[in-house]
Homo-oligomer: A and B are copies of this chain.
Amino acid sequence: MATLGELERAVMDLLWQSDSEDPAEIALTANALRDRLARKTASSPDGKELAVTTVLTVLSRLEKKGLVQRERDIRPHRYRAVTSREEHTVELMNEVLGSAPDREAVLAKFIGSVSEQEAETLRKLLTA
């Protein structure tokens, strides 16, 4: 499965986040990402700054995985998430589900595993 490493996940989180923030920043540069990663990790006061090359490597890998798209025409390349976080999560759920022979049985159990409030939301969606 297309499971992400810790840093890959952190980068995707930033790209997904930028989706909703300042619309001028949907696509970020490696440097912008490096800075935000540093600030993010600032919860632990080690002030750890990654090398830009590290971020670039990760971005290349994410691009190869099809999760990230890069604008190559402009010079500091800009990177953006190909899908929204929600879409991606749904894809993962379907990957997991797809590998099951008895999909309906799984879905049944799954429904039973969500909160009552969420079940209510689903009910509305399904009967709409």
Contacts and interface: CB of A to CB of B under 8 A. Distances in A.
Interface of A: 1, 3, 85-87, 89-90, 92-94, 96-97, 99-114, 118-119, 121-123, 125-127
Q: Determine the main DSSP class of A at the interface with B.
A: helix
Given A3-B1, A3-B3, A118-B103, A110 B126 contact: no
B118 A106 contact: no
A104 B92 contact: no
Nearest to A123: B126
Q: Which 7 A-B pairs have the closest CB atoms?
A: A92-B96, A90-B109, A123-B126, A89-B106, A89-B100, A90-B110, A86-B106
B86 A102 contact: yes
Given A86-B105, A90-B106, 18 more contacts: A87-B109, A89-B100, A89-B106, A89-B109, A90-B109, A90-B113, A92-B96, A93-B96, A104-B121, A107-B118, A107-B121, A107-B122, A108-B125, A111-B122, A111-B125, A111-B126, A112-B125, A127-B127
